[in-house]
Structure 1
């Protein structure tokens, strides 16, 4: 039986991507899915390479959009996938045009964040191109609602929600004990750790975490903040910590490839974002049985559901974040453990990789059976 061929189009190769790996390797044997990266070359770290599931076009960044489209058209005519699954806006634009000229039957546009239709020009481009897409996938219900409200003429049934999922097995296998995790971070066993993971960029809201921590530090003298990640705001955040007089209580680890091994060293996970689609870092922290404090933005409330796993706070609200930090800090050990157990159960029930892959297969099946390609 001939397999249904699916190509995922990704703009840049930025290293091994567990979510993409799962979307490609987690399908049943009726499907042959591959990743196609427009820019970037293999580095020996991509799991998809060992399965023969990665294609690197390695385009020159200076090449025109027309040249990229032409390259894609040649590839699609040669490989003849039935479904082109495009991730993010620019790739959707390039992929949709290439699909039209290559007569690829189905195009899926996968939207990973909020407010992607920011300008009138973007809205016009979407109006022209999205009529040629078969389906639009949002990573949360709020993202789906945002897509429908900011684009012209989209039928509601054309936009669906697919929650991100994570493989909880690595969280089990790589989660070390607290003592070893803290040794890897150079944090003492006696300290209470408010931890955060994410790119150091404006949308992640780390400046609010620092500001709120500075206001409650006297009430939790054994606490410190550990921020895992790197990005354009690192120097600004380090300067802010110095200006607030908390630099001795804040650790910036920089980029770490062993995040799952470090999470057990946290006492509370904090996600102070001002914009999110659906945070994988949040899911990983919950899988590691951590209580969580997170901003009420994007798909985050959907992750919380009705479970008691921590606290949702308004984004950018320093006072509310500080109160939540102090409240969870003050809980006894048993109550904090219960929040973490609830968080883990929420991932097992709704945000595991098997659940996501089953729904993705259903999306592909509905397209292939529709006969509208």
Structure 2
């Protein structure tokens, strides 16, 4: 099969990383994949096949006739069997291109979050109703994400399934901490500086924690619009000497392997791959119970699950994750990810859906 994977841009974000890894495995199984980005980006994603950037101006993301035309011309040239959209912008872009230029290939939408938490005004909801009526299939990353989507957009019920995010096996390489070299314990958070990731809450939790356990260091991997504000908050809370901001790194799993625990106090999530990366690296996870996280982080079995915004309980769970014996919990988590969330298995599930839709 010939498959188009549409991404927002070449960037180190979960949706793009997963699309690249999925594309690599789909090619390994005999398909031809084109990784097509809408907007300019320069990051090298882990995909050795054909990468195409339309380089469309991001300020035209809501109306881009020329971009829609260019996508239709690419489709006419390469005649793919299926088009997969890996973010909201790509879904809108593909549906409008198809409606205007009348190409026939089926569109698959990948739902990686909880849409009801983003779509909260009537106009946006009406637009998305129209978009989802014009896709052929929807693949959600978790049962909770699927249920959420089906509830707000009932037209997706008959054409939905769940295929979780997966990860590739990774041999950890030695890295050096950029700060906190003298700390006894190291906490890591990986994620963009956006409101969903709740860095303000993370710093509040960390402040509670260091009052009891001062010899720890927090490593923040990621970039985003809220980074400067969070750096200033760290100064205001007098935590800046116990925290290091890395920006985006190309090898986050190497740092996860070096840490003592991964934390994820997000207030919105689908099924974040970083949790799976920690589990396969045999590191304990502490996370809020949002989105599909409870489908992998089972309290006391595979990790520490805390109800959203319960910061004191999160700090207590962090204490247990770092200072208790978690050998059995860590092994349970590793076994779960190895057996269910391997990208080779995940790619086979996507491949089956594509073949069902092939015309």
Mark yes or no: TM-score above 0.5: yes
Tell which deviates more after alignment, 59-68 or 103-112: 59-68
Return the match for 1:147 from 134, 143, 149: 149
Alpha-carbon shift at residue 305 of structure 1 (Å): 4.7
Q: Quote the Cα distance in structure 1 between the aligned partners of 2:103 and 2:225.
A: 41
- 2:104 aligned residue: 104
Q: 1:175, 1:263 within 8 Å by CA — same for their partners in 2?
A: no
The superposition leaves residues 217-270 of structure 1 with CA deviations (integer Å, 9 ceiling, x where unpaired) of 232232222222222222322232233333322222332223222122211110
SS at match of 1:90: helix
Alpha-carbon shift at residue 175 of structure 1 (Å): 4.0
Return the match for 1:58 from 37, 55, 59: 55
- The question of 1:120 aligning with 2:122 is answered yes
Tell which deviates more after alignment, 7-16 or 76-85: 7-16
Structure 2 residues without counterparts, runs of 5 or longer:
none
Q: 2:298, 2:304 within 8 Å by CA — same for their partners in 1?
A: no
Alpha-carbon shift at residue 313 of structure 1 (Å): 0.7
Return the match for 2:2 from 2, 5, 29: 5
Task: Describe how 1:131-170 pairs up with structure 2 within 5 A.
Answer: 131-151=133-153, 153-168=154-169, 170=170
Task: Describe how 1:1-373 pairs up with structure 2 within 5 A.
Answer: 4-14=1-11, 17-27=16-26, 29-40=29-40, 45-48=44-47, 50-51=48-49, 53-61=50-58, 63=60, 64-100=63-99, 101-115=101-115, 116-151=118-153, 153-168=154-169, 170=170, 173-176=171-174, 181=175, 183-188=176-181, 191-305=184-298, 308-331=301-324, 335-368=325-358
Alpha-carbon shift at residue 83 of structure 1 (Å): 0.8
The structure with more radius of gyration: 1
TM-score, normalising length: structure 1: 0.86
Structure 1 residues without counterparts, runs of 5 or longer:
none
SS at match of 1:315: coil
Q: 1:198, 1:229 within 8 Å by CA — same for their partners in 2?
A: yes
Q: Quote the Cα distance in structure 1 between the aligned partners of 2:301 and 2:292.
A: 17
The superposition leaves residues 270-315 of structure 1 with CA deviations (integer Å, 9 ceiling, x where unpaired) of 0110111111221111111101100101111112257712211112
TM-score, normalising length: structure 2: 0.89
Q: Quote the Cα distance in structure 1 between the aligned partners of 2:42 and 2:119.
A: 32
Q: Quote the Cα distance in structure 2 between the aligned partners of 1:57 and 1:238.
A: 34
CA RMSD of aligned residues (A): 2.3
SS at match of 1:26: helix
The number of residues matched between the two structures is 351
Alpha-carbon shift at residue 130 of structure 1 (Å): 2.2
Q: Quote the Cα distance in structure 1 between the aligned partners of 2:12 and 2:223.
A: 15
Q: Quote the Cα distance in structure 2 between the aligned partners of 1:208 and 1:312.
A: 16
Q: 1:307, 1:343 within 8 Å by CA — same for their partners in 2?
A: no
Q: Mark the CA change 1:160 to 1:326 in structure 2 (over 3 Å): closer, same or farther.
A: same
Alpha-carbon shift at residue 185 of structure 1 (Å): 3.0
Q: Mark the CA change 1:15 to 1:285 in structure 2 (over 3 Å): closer, same or farther.
A: closer
Alpha-carbon shift at residue 41 of structure 1 (Å): 5.7
Q: Quote the Cα distance in structure 1 between the aligned partners of 2:355 and 2:172.
A: 34
Q: Quote the Cα distance in structure 1 between the aligned partners of 2:67 and 2:162.
A: 29
Q: Mark the CA change 1:198 to 1:42 in structure 2 (over 3 Å): closer, same or farther.
A: closer
Q: Mark the CA change 1:11 to 1:242 in structure 2 (over 3 Å): closer, same or farther.
A: closer
SS at match of 1:8: strand
